[in-house]
């Protein structure tokens, strides 16, 4: 700091500063004198004549000038240990992320004639002040500026890479990175996160960045996406743990977590969090030793801080939730639902009007796929759409709900199927289907994806696509030991070869009457379908619940008590939920009971996909009504 610098800071001439510091200021007003003296004191200005006369004289004092020391106690402990072992004392300064305070600290260090300084600049502009240290021959070790080749730093990019690789080794591919906004550490860890995904050929998307300041991504956790999270800050992990406890999610059963740990209370850590300790103490030792080597003109072969990043425990790590239950495959129709709200359903010869309508993705295949995915299952959809704007809506919907759409084919010569739904005020509906691309889903579209059936538990089928395709899918499923659940929609008869491949046959009352009109009794209808080859039959009865005929249970199950608004998707919600809970090991009776609650949620809201319930909401409700059902 020179007299010229003081003059510029005070906004006065150099001669004015000279007069004030030499007590020749009788003609200078009090305000100016006080301002100059305050700056001289704040910046530890030493007149040239009183400056250090022998720059080679060593004081064996080191300075540590940090941008902020609130999280660096361990770093300081490491530096102090090495300094004391080498016969040095340390002066510690905190800039509090304030450039003005930083400059004052620099002038103070120069005044104290330190031999060297460990310096964490507030920002890049701060580096211009390095000239004050150089002028007095003070050695400098810059830290925590990765873009500066002369700076030492902890490799947070590598730590992010290591943490991500741990999740990948456990089989997680649906992963996220819990970050903090405006945090350079988060930026570097996230860079390592993305690099690890790239190196392991795991596709990256922006939804993998999970800012702790936002809650928009929390609802994705309910569908087990992501299944594993890397956290850049331990405090963020604790916030996440608190949130998970509120929604009754359990680590590591529902979600795996690995966090960087920077808690300054070294021996205190949350026992359920797998962590990688940030090596602040070791970094403090390393940096102080480098500075002492510079001060004593010793050459050091080590120019980069390197250390291992060991995982402290595996308490919050496990295989992905989806790997616990086998995948669900859905083969069926995909439509754009155009719903018209009407006071009464259309009748021949009458015209009705509406002033309310909605357009959204639907079709029994799409509905069941999203229904199972919302409940946390790993789901793949096999179907066909056209080459039109509506097909983009379908793909976006599947991506939003984490449905595997690799077998969802787009035909360039066709249009996407459409369903025109007249919805009455009491929830009853009448539907007209424009089959579109659904009619062109062929057996070859099934055989093209044999790997989909590997490690699958259930295949959900509906007859709104060609029967030969459904038959091919049923055969393919049984080839891989996958159980078939069939919804017989929009057909007058079912082939003997198909029903013999069906493990669970789920018609509604009207469909059962069409398929066996000569048998009036519900139970006898179910037994008839058993005689045809179905292993289990569930006839859904709307407000009356359903009837089950299976080897382990026979009888009626009542419907859940919900006020109907739109009954369109009740069966899809029922079947999707049935498959998910059967996959989780529930009996056919209890899985069906749970499925009636899911169907109730669905009919209580308009539309299908928006009305399908997530697992947390479903189970929270059931626990309040029938808690023993989930045990």
Q: What share of the chain is helix, strand, coil (3-state, %, to 5)?
A: 40, 20, 40
298 is written with which tokens? 């010793």
All residues at 6 or more sequence positions from 45 whose CB lies less than 8 Å from its CB, including other chains: 1, 3, 6, 21, 39, 107
pLDDT digits (tens, 9 = 90+) for 483-512: 999 999 888 999 999 999 999 999 999 999
pLDDT digits (tens, 9 = 90+) for 343-375: 888 888 888 888 788 888 989 999 999 999 999
Least confident of 51-65, 211-225, 338-352, 407-421: 51-65
CATH number of 332-347+355-630: 3.40.1190.20
Residue 160's closest CA among 101, 230, 214, 93? 230
What are the Cα distances from residue 342, in Å, to 348, 354, 421?
A: 15, 6, 10
pLDDT digits (tens, 9 = 90+) for 105-117: 999 999 998 999 9
Q: From the options 3.90.340.10, 2.40.30.170, 3.40.50.2300, 3.30.450.40, give the CATH code of 156-277.
A: 3.40.50.2300
Say whether pLDDT at 173 is over 80. Answer: yes
146 is written with which tokens? 């990765």
Say whether pLDDT at 385 is over 90. Answer: yes
Domain boundaries, the chain: 1-51, 54-154+279-306, 156-277, 332-347+355-630
Alpha carbons 154 and 318: distance in angstroms, whole number: 28
Q: What pLDDT is stored for residue 52 in this prediction? A: 46
CATH topology for 54-154+279-306 is: Rossmann fold (3.40.50)
Q: DSSP character for 437?
A: G
Q: Work out whether strand 327-331 and strand 379-385 pair parallel, antiparallel, or are unpaired.
A: parallel
Q: What pLDDT is stored for residue 271 in this prediction? A: 61
Alpha carbons 192 and 277: distance in angstroms, whole number: 16
CB 361 within 8 A of CB 418: no
Say whether pLDDT at 132 is over 80. Answer: yes
- Cα dihedral sign, 435-437-441-446: negative
Q: How far from each other are the two terminal CA atoms of the chain, in whole angstroms?
A: 74
CB 199 within 8 A of CB 226: no
pLDDT digits (tens, 9 = 90+) for 235-258: 899 999 988 888 778 888 889 999
3-state secondary structure of 302: coil
% of the chain residues with pLDDT over 90:
62
- The beta-strand segments (E) located in 343-482 are 357-362, 379-385, 408-410, 417-424, 429-434, 456-462
- When pLDDT is averaged across residues 331-336 and rounded to a whole number, the result is 94
Confidence of residue 582 (pLDDT cuts 50, 70, 90): very high
Say whether pLDDT at 53 is over 60. Answer: no
The answer, as to whether pTM is greater than 0.75, is no
- Which run of H or E residues covers position 6? helix 3-10
Alpha carbons 402 and 396: distance in angstroms, whole number: 10
491 is written with which tokens? 């057909």
Cis peptide preceding 252, ω within 30 of 0: yes
- Taking residue 592's Cβ as centre, other Cβ atoms within 10 Å add up to 27
- Taking residue 199's Cβ as centre, other Cβ atoms within 10 Å add up to 12
Tell me the backbone φ, ψ of residue 543, rounded to 5 degrees: -65, -15
Half-sphere exposure of 230 (CA within 13 A, CB side): 36
Residue 156's closest CA among 309, 267, 316, 274? 309
Q: What pLDDT is stored for residue 502 in this prediction? A: 97
3-state secondary structure of 538: strand
Q: What pLDDT is stored for residue 46 in this prediction? A: 67
Residue 484's closest CA among 474, 493, 494? 474
Q: What pLDDT is stored for residue 558 in this prediction? A: 95
Range of 45-54, 56-65, 290-299 with top mean pLDDT = 290-299
Interhelix angle for 570-583 vs 364-374, to 10°?
50
Say whether pLDDT at 223 is over 80. Answer: no
Half-sphere exposure of 329 (CA within 13 A, CB side): 30
- Cα dihedral sign, 236-241-244-245: negative
Alpha carbons 39 and 3: distance in angstroms, whole number: 11
Name which CATH class applies to 1-51.
mainly alpha
Q: Work out whether strand 408-410 and strand 379-385 pair parallel, antiparallel, or are unpaired.
A: parallel
275 is written with which tokens? 């962590």
**What would you report as the CA-atom Rg of the chain, rounded to the nearest whole angstrom?**
35
Alpha carbons 102 and 114: distance in angstroms, whole number: 16
For the chain, the farthest-separated pair of C-alpha atoms sits apart, in whole angstroms, at: 120
Interhelix angle for 389-400 vs 364-374, to 10°?
20
The residue written with tokens 């007590």 in the block is 23
Asked whether this chain's domains 54-154+279-306 and 332-347+355-630 adopt the same fold, the reply is no
pLDDT digits (tens, 9 = 90+) for 69-127: 765 688 999 999 999 998 889 999 999 999 999 999 999 999 998 999 999 999 999 99
430 is written with which tokens? 């009448």
What are the Cα distances from residue 481, in Å, to 326, 453, 580?
A: 11, 9, 17
């Amino acid at each position: 700091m020179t007299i010229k610098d003081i003059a510029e800071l005070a906004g006065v001439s150099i001669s004015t500063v000279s007069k004030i510091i030499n007590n020749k200021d009788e003609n200078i007003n009090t305000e100016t004198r006080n301002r100059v003296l305050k700056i001289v004191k704040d910046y530890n200005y030493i007149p040239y004549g009183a400056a250090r006369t022998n720059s080679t004289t060593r004081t064996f004092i080191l300075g540590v000038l940090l941008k902020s020391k609130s999280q660096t106690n361990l770093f300081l402990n490491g530096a102090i240990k090495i300094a004391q072992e080498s016969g040095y004392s340390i002066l510690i300064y905190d800039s509090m992320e304030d450039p003005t305070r930083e400059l004052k600290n620099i002038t103070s260090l120069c005044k104290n004639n330190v031999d060297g300084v460990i310096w964490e600049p507030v920002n890049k502009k701060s580096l211009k002040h390095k000239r004050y240290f150089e002028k007095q021959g003070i050695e400098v070790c810059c830290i925590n500026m990765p873009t500066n080749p002369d700076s030492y730093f902890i490799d947070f990019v590598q730590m992010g890479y290591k943490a991500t690789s741990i999740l990948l080794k456990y089989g997680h591919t649906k992963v996220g990175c819990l970050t903090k906004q405006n945090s350079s550490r988060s930026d570097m860890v996230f860079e390592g996160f993305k690099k690890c995904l790239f190196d392991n050929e795991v596709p990256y998307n922006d939804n993998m960045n999970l800012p702790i300041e936002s809650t928009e991504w929390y609802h994705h956790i309910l569908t087990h996406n992501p299944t594993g999270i890397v956290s850049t800050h331990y405090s963020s992990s604790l916030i996440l743990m608190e949130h998970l406890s509120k929604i009754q999610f359990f680590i590591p059963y529902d979600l795996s977590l690995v966090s960087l740990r920077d808690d300054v209370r070294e021996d205190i850590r949350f026992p359920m969090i797998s962590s990688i300790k940030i090596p602040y103490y070791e970094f403090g030792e390393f940096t102080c030793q480098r500075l002492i080597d510079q001060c004593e003109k010793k050459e050091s072969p080590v120019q980069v801080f390197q250390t291992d990043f060991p995982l402290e425990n595996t308490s919050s790590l496990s295989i992905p939730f989806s790997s616990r239950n086998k995948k669900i495959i859905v083969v069926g129709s995909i439509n754009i639902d155009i719903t018209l709200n009407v006071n009464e359903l259309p009748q021949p010869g009458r015209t009705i009007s509406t002033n309310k309508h909605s357009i959204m993705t639907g079709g029994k295949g799409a509905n069941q796929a999203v229904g199972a995915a919302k409940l946390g299952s790993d789901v793949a959809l096999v179907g066909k759409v056209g080459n039109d704007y509506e097909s983009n809506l379908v793909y976006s919907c599947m991506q939003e709900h984490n449905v595997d759409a690799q077998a969802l084919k787009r035909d360039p010569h066709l249009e996407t199927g459409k369903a025109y739904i007249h919805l009455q005020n009491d929830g009853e509906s009448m539907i007209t289907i424009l089959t579109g691309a659904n009619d062109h889903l062929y057996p070859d579209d099934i055989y093209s994806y044999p790997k989909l059936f590997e490690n699958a538990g259930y295949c959900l089928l509906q007859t709104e696509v060609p029967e030969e395709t459904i038959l091919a899918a049923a055969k393919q499923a049984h080839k891989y030991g996958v159980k078939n659940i069939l919804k017989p929609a929009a057909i007058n008869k079912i082939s003997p070869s198909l029903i013999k491949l069906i493990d669970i046959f789920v018609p509604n009352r009207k469909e059962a009457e069409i398929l066996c009109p000569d048998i009036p009794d519900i139970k006898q209808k179910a037994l008839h379908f058993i005689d045809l080859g179905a292993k289990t039959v569930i006839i859904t009865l709307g407000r009356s619940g359903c009837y089950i005929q299976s080897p382990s249970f026979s009888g009626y199950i009542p419907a859940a008590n919900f006020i109907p608004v739109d009954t369109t998707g009740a069966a899809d919600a029922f079947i999707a939920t049935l498959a998910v809970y059967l996959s989780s090991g529930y009996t056919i009776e209890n899985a069906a009971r749970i499925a009636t609650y899911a169907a109730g949620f669905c009919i209580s809201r308009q539309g299908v996909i928006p009305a399908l319930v997530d697992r947390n909401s479903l189970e929270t409700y059931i626990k309040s009504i029938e808690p023993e059902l989930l045990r």
